[in-house]
Structure 1
C-alpha cells in the first residue's frame, strides 16, 4: 500500500465525488479493520480524511501531477527563499504559476518574496488577490499587515491588525502588532489599550508575558506609577507551577540583559523577579544584588529615564491555530482601580464622618477611580504650594 496514491488505495478515479470517496472508504475498512490491519487502516483513514477536505485534496492532486514535479519545484523555490535568494525563488515560482495558477502556496510565497525584496506594490496586489480567494487564512492577512506597516500606511495597518484580532481573538500576537503600530505613531495611550484588549479579558498566562512586559514599559514610560505597579502584580500572578515560575523569571532576566543599567524600568523588573524568586535560587538572588549595586554606583534615580520605545521589538509571527471568536471589547477599568485595602479604610473613615452608606459609597468611588483621584489630589497640592510660595514672596 505504501507506493499507492490515495486514489489507488481507495480504488477510485481521481475525479471521484465525495460520496464515492466515502463509500469506497467504508468498503475498504470493512476489509482492513483496525484490529487486524492497523497499518493499512491508518493509511486508508489518512487518504479518506485528506481527500474529503477540498483544500487538502487540491494540494495533494498537485503533488502527484507530473511525477511529483510540483513538490520538487516548490521545494527548490522554498530553499532559495529560506536562503534569502528571493529573485531565484521568484523565477521558479513564476514558472510554477504557469501550470499551477490556482496554487495558494505558490501565490503566497511569491507575494512574500516580493515583500522581502521591498517590492511592496507587487506584494500588495498578489496578497490582496489571495485574501479575496481565501479570506480566513491568518498568514495572508498578516503579510498584508506587514506591507501596510512597512509602507507607513498606519491607518490601514491598524485596520488589518483588527482583522487579525477578529480572526484569532485568543492569540496574543495580533494585539501586540496593533500596539506596535500605535507606538510607531506615538499614540501611547492607544498602544496600552490595544494590549489591555487582550489582557483585561483573560487570565494572563505564559503566552501573554510579552504583552505584560510591553505594558510594564509603556506605563512606566508614561509615568503612570500606580498602573505600572499593578502590571507588576499581574506578572507575579502568571506562573501556576515551578516550571512556569522559572519561565517567567527567565523572560524578565532577558530584559535585564537587554536594557541599559540606567533604564527607569530596571528597578521595577528587579523587584518583580525578587518577589517571584523569593531567594529560592541563590544564583538569581546574587545576580539581582549585583544589578542593584551597579544601579547604586550610577547614582540612579528610578524615574530619570523614560525612554521605553526601544522595548517594542515585537515578534513578527502570528500563531497558525485559529481560535474561536469571542468578545474583545477593551475594558480599561482594571487599569484605574485602587488598592482594595485602602478602599476599605477610606470607607471606614467616611462611615465615622457621615453614615455607613456614605462610607460604602466613598470606598467604591476610591476603588474604581483611584488613579484619577490621586491625580486630582496631586494637582490641588501643587496649586496650594504655588499659592503659599506666591504669598510668601509678595507679603
Structure 2
C-alpha cells in the first residue's frame, strides 16, 4: 500500500475542491476499506481527519480560506523574490495570479502597485493605489506612494495634494515635510515652502528638527530671502547651545551634498567656522580645506550659476551679477555674528566623523589625474590608484608639497645669502 504523505485534505480523499458532500462521503468509505485502522493506522487517521474537516460545512469553509491564504502567500513570496532580482514583469504576473484567487487581497494590491512603479508603469500604479485608498483612506503609505507616482509623471500639483494629505495624518513626519518642500520648489510655489517650514518649526525647537532647519536655510539663501536666512540661523544657533557638534556635522553633511558653484556653499562654510569658536581642530581643518577648495575651483571654473569669475570667499561679485544677488553675496561674505557662550574645546567622538572628509580632494581633479596617469602609463589600474590616492589624501599631499616647496625656498634664500656674504668678505 502507498503511504499518504500529504496534508491537503482534498488530495487525501482524492476529490476536487468543488466536490459535494456525497462525493466526499463515498471517497471516505472507499479509502477506509483499503486503509484499515488495524493495518494502516497512520493513513487511517489522516483520512479520518480529512473527512471530519470536509464533512462539516463550517470547518470546510474555514479550511478553504486557509488553503487560499497559503496559495496567495506562496505566490506573493515568489513575487517578492522576483522583485528583489529585478525581474519585475515576472513578479507582476505572480501578483496577478494571487489577485485572481482573491481580488481584494490588500498586500497583493500594494505589491502590484510597487511592481508597476518599478516597471515604470506609473498610470497603472496610480489606478491600483486609488482603488486601495478608497478601501483604506487614511493609510499614509498609500498616500506617499501616490505622491511618488505623480512626481515621476511630473504632475506636481497632484503630488503635493497627496503629500499634504499624508502630512495631515502624520504632522510630525519630518521626511514628509522635506518631500513636500521639494515638490513646492519644483512647482515654483516659493511662499508655500516657507509657510510649510513656519507651521512645522514651532517652539520648542529640538535636535530632530535639524534637517528641516538646514533645508529652510538652504532655500532661504537660494531664493535670496535675507530675513529667512537670519531666522534659520537663529534656530541653528539656538540648537547649537547644547548640541554644537551635531549641528556642525549636520551642516557639513549638507554642504558636501550640494554644489560648490552656489554662493550659499561658501556662506555655510563661514557659518561653520564661526560656530566652531571653541576650537575643535577637525572642524577647523574642514573649514580651512573647504575654503581653499572653493577658491581653487572657482579660480579655474568661475562661479557658473551666477556669472562670477574667479570670485573668492569674501571677494566682490562681478559686474554681471544681478543687484539683488550682489547684495546677498556681499552680506554673506561678512562675518556672521553667533550668539553663544564661550566654550573650551574638549575632544568629542562625534568630531571624528569629519576627519575622513577633512583631507579629501576634488572629484574633478582626482578623475583628471587618474586619466592622465592611465593614458601616459597605458595602465588603467595605475590611473585608478592615482585617482583614489588624490581623492582621499589630497589634503596630506598638498601639505607635503607645501612643506617641500617651503624648504626649497629657504634653501635657495640661504644659498643666496651665503653667496652675498662670501662676495663681501672675499
Range into which the TM-score falls when normalised by the shorter chain: 0.5 to 0.7
* Cα RMSD, aligned residues only: 3.1
- CA-CA distance at 1:89 after TM superposition: 1.4
Rounded Cα–Cα distance in structure 1 between residues aligned with 2:147 and 2:253: 28
Structure 2 partner of 1:235: 236
1:139 Cα deviation after fit: 0.7
Which residue of 309, 312, 334 corresponds with 1:300? 312
Q: Tell me the distance in 2 between the aligned counterparts of 1:240 and 1:105.
A: 47
* Length-normalised TM-score, structure 2: 0.51
CA gap of 1:252–1:110, structure 2 versus 1, over 3 A, is same
State the secondary structure of the residue aligned to 1:237. Answer: helix
The yes-or-no answer on 1:251 pairing with 2:253 is no
- Other-structure match for 1:83: 85
Aligned residue runs from structure 1 range 127-206, under 5 A: 127-199=129-201, 201-206=202-207
State the Cα deviation string for residues 57-102 of structure 1 (Å, max 9, x = none). xxxx999646844433322212222333221211111111122322
After superposition, the Cα gap between the structure-2 partners of 1:86 and 1:253, relative to the gap in structure 1 and judged at 3 Å, is same
Task: Indicate how the Cα distance of structure 1 residues 266 and 107 shifts in structure 2: closer, same or farther if over 3 A, else same.
Answer: same
Matches within 5 A, 1:9-48: none
* CA shift digits 1:199-232 (9 cap, x unpaired): 1x34333433222222112111222223213212
CA distance in 1, matches of 2:65, 2:183: 39
Larger radius of gyration: 2
Structure 1 residue 275 displacement after superposition: 4.1
Asked whether the 8 Å contact 1:206–1:239 carries over to 2, the reply is no
Once residues 78 and 121 of structure 1 are traced to their aligned partners in structure 2, the CA distance between those partners, rounded to angstroms, is 21
Structure-2 separation of matches of 1:66 and 1:280: 66
Tell me if the contact between 2:72 and 2:101 (Cα under 8 Å) persists in the aligned partners. Answer: no
Partner SS state of residue 292, structure 1: helix
Structure 2 CA distance, aligned partners of 1:248 and 1:143? 31
1:177 deviates by 2.1
**Hey, what does 1:117 align to over in structure 2?**
119
Once the two structures are TM-superposed, the CA of residue 249 in structure 1 deviates from its matched residue by 2.5
Indicate the residue corresponding to 2:218 in structure 1: 217
Deviations 1:255-278 (A, max 9, x none): 232333342112332233234443
**Secondary structure of 1:267 counterpart:** helix
Provide Cα deviations, 1:133-165, integer angstroms capped at 9, x if missing partner: 011111101111112222222222222121111
2:107 maps to 1:105: yes
Equivalent position SS for 1:152: coil
Residues of 2 paired with 1:125 and 1:102: CA distance? 14
2:239 aligned counterpart, secondary structure? coil
- Matches of 2:253 and 2:238 in 1, distance apart? 19
1:107 CA drift (Å): 0.3
Structure 1, gaps ≥5 residues long: 1-60, 307-338, 342-395
Q: TM-score, normalised by structure 1?
A: 0.55
CA apart distance, 1:245: 4.0
Pairwise mapping of residues 276-315 of structure 1 onto structure 2 (< 5 A)? 276-296=275-295, 298=299, 299-300=311-312
SS at match of 2:220: helix
Separation (CA, whole Å) in 1 of partners of 2:280 and 2:66: 56
- Taking the aligned partners of 2:64 and 2:220, their CA distance within structure 1 comes to 52
Partners of 1:240 and 1:88 lie apart in 2 by 55
Q: What is the CA-CA distance between 1:119 and the residue it aligns to?
A: 1.3
- In structure 2, relative to structure 1, the CA distance for the partners of 1:62 and 1:276 (3 Å cut) is farther
Distance 2:286 2:214 in 1: 20
Aligned residue for 1:265, secondary structure, equals helix
Counterpart CA distance in 1 for 2:274 and 2:81 is 47
For 1:69 and 1:121, the matched residues in 2 are separated by 28
Q: Following TM superposition, by how much is the alpha carbon of 1:233 offset from its aligned partner in structure 2, in angstroms? A: 2.2
Q: Which has the higher contact order (CA 8 A, sep 6+)?
A: 1
